[in-house]
Amino acid sequence: MAASTRLMSRLALVTGGGSGIGRAVCQRLASEGASVVVADISHESAMETVGRLPGDLRGQGHMAAAVDVSSKESVKKLLTSVQTRFFQPPSVCVNAAGITQDDFLLNMEEEHFDKVLLVNLKGSFLVLQAVAQALVACGAPKGSIVTVGSIVGKVGNIGQANYSASKAGVEGLTRTAAKELSRFGIRCNCVLPGFISTPMTDKVPERVISKWWSSDHNEPKWHLLPESM
């Protein structure tokens, strides 16, 4: 099947779809024929993404939705509104919502640690669980759920104790979900991007970003140092 029709008749849900990587994922999924639910904490930015998408191949259209992935109630409402509009749960789900609140470990506020874990890790859990439950409940649960971890979850990064812990957690969550959900035909994968220039990384001043190439892995390594450091 041609790449442009590969996802025809698929319904995809993308959290964090109002910006950066999530927005690019929405564009790619729509360009391959999927109907996309763009969900973001900002309804306005979700609508902006929808406005830029090509039409889906089945003519079901796309949908913009506001969601706070860290709230179980908000995630539940999102799944209900998706199923009310499309009469099916999403069979593709990409969890791209995420935040950073960087600081040195020695200075990091407990509140900032909790917030990053709440959005990045618990948010991924809540969305993954809600989508998997909806797929299993509909009786034809084939699907693909993608979480967005980070290379920082593997190797750590100065100033990102909270963020790197959350992303290591996302990877463990996804590995477990893959083992539990494979029997339902639901694939779970975690992608670990390196540095990608988006509004998230734009918040970090140029002067504190340094990149270099690892001699042994031939992969980019990078450090983001908070401005206060």
Which positions are annotated as active-site residues?
A: 163
Q: Which residue lies nearer to ligand NAP by CB, 33 or 98?
A: 98
Instruction: Kindly list the residues in this chain that would bind ligand NAP in the complex (CB under 6 A).
Output: 15-16, 18-22, 40-42, 45, 67-70, 96-99, 119, 123, 148, 150, 193, 195-196, 198-201
Instruction: Please identify the residue of the shown chain whose CB is closest to the bound ligand NAP.
Output: 20
- Dist CA 50 CA 26 (whole Å): 8
Cβ 195 to ligand NAP, closest distance in Å?
5
CB of 18 to ligand NAP, least distance (A): 4
Residue burial 170-188, b: 16+ Cβ < 10 Å; e: rest: bbebbeebeeebeeeebeb
Closest distance between ligand NAP and the C-beta of residue 1, in Å? 28
Closer residue to ligand NAP, CB minimum distance, 79 or 148: 148
Q: Which is nearer to ligand NAP, 57 or 166 (CB)?
A: 166
Euclidean distance between CA atoms 64 and 150, whole angstroms: 26
